[in-house]
Amino acid sequence: MIISLIIAYFFLSGGHETFLLNPNMAKNVSYYVKDKARKDKIDKIIKAVGKNQEVFEKKTKNVYDKKLVELNLDPSSKITAFTAEYDSFYTGLKILQESYIDSELVIKSLIKPNEWDSIMAKVLMTPTKDKVKKQISKQNQDLYSRLLKASNKAISNAADQQKAKIYLKEYTAKGDTLSAGFLDLNYKYIKDIRPYSATKSDFEQAGIKMIQLRRNYTDYLVVMRFKLIAITPKDKWQDLAKELNSSFTYMGAGLSK
C-alpha cells in the first residue's frame, strides 16, 4: 500500500527509521574505521539495532496488525478500540526510535570526524526526489482505484456510492500530503544529521515529525472506515473490509512486507 512505499524511502535506507539499518552502514564502517576495537564496538551496536527492529516488526505483524484486521472486519467494532491499538503501537514506536537515537549517538562517538564524513557520504545517498514522488503517487492512485472498485461493488445505492467516492478521494489526498511530508522530512533529516556536529535534538526532530505524520494518516483511515461502514449494507461489509485490510496491516503506516 501507499504507506509501505513511503516508509521504504524514509531516510532512504530500505524502510527503516534509523540509518544504522542502511545496508551500506556496516560495510562502510568496516572500510573507513581501521581501528579494530572501535570497529567491533560499532558492529555490535548495529547488530543490536537490527535485532530490536526484528522484534518490533514481529510484534507489529503478530499483535497490532492482527488486532486491527479483526477490528476492521467486525462491523460492531468501536472507534475507541482502534484508537487504543494505535496508541499502543505509536508508544512502542517512539520507544524504539529513542533507542535508535541513543545508538546513533554512541556510534558517532566511536567514529572520528573524517571517518564520519566519509561514511555518511556513502550511506546517506539520495535518489531523485521527483522520481520517488512519482512512484509514491502512482501507488496512491492504484490504491484509490482498487478501493473505489470494491466500494462500488459493495454499495449499490448511487447516492452512497458518490459519498464513498468522496471519502476515498479525501483518503487519497491524505496519502499525497503524507508522502510530500515524508519526503521533505527525509531530505531535511539527511541535511541535519550529516554534520559531525549534529546534536541529539537534530536526530530527534525527524522521529517526532514522522510519528505525527503517520498518526494523522492513520487517524483519518479509521474515520474513513467508519464513514464507509455507515453506508455499506451489512451483508456486503466483509467484502469491502477485506479490501481495506491492507491499509491497516503494518499499521497502515509501517514497514513494507
Mean pLDDT within 36-51: 95
Tell me: pLDDT of 166 over 80: yes
Q: How far apart (Å, rounded) are the C-alpha atoms in residues 140 and 179?
A: 9
Residue 168 clears pLDDT 80, i.e. is over it: yes
- Pair 123, 25: CB distance under 8 Å: yes
* pLDDT at site 154: 96
Inter-residue contact 78 to 247 (CB < 8 Å): no
Tell me the average pLDDT of the chain.
Answer: 87
Q: Measure the CA–CA gap between 120 and 103, rounded to whole angstroms.
A: 16
Please give the full DSSP string across 145-173, using - where no structure is assigned: HHHHHHHHHH---HHHHHHHHHHHHHHHH
Mean predicted confidence (pLDDT) in 136-141: 85
pLDDT(236) > 90: yes
Q: What predicted TM-score, i.e. pTM, was given to this entire model?
A: 0.87
Comparing 209 with 113, which gets the higher pLDDT? 113
Out of 25-34, 118-127, 170-179, 219-228, least confident range: 118-127
> What local confidence, expressed as pLDDT, does residue 255 receive?
35
**What average pLDDT does range 199-225 have in this prediction?**
89
Tell me the C-alpha distance between 209 and 213, whole Å: 6
Residue labelled with grid coordinates 521504504? 8
Give the CA angle between residues 125, 255, 198 to the nearest 5°.
40
Q: Where are the domains of the chain?
A: 2-252
Q: What is the pLDDT of residue 192?
A: 84
Residue 205 has pLDDT above 70, yes or no: yes
| pLDDT of the residue at 228 | 97
Residues 222 and 83 sit within 8 Å (Cβ to Cβ): yes
Q: Quote the pLDDT of residue 183.
A: 81
Please count the other Cβ atoms lying within 10 Å of the Cβ belonging to residue 120: 21
pLDDT tens string 53-103: 889 888 988 999 999 999 999 999 999 999 999 999 999 989 998 999 999
Give me the pLDDT at residue 122, please: 86
The better pLDDT of the pair 250, 169 is held by 169
What per-residue confidence (pLDDT) applies to 252? Answer: 47
**4-18, 19-33, 37-51, 225-239, range with the lowest pLDDT:** 4-18
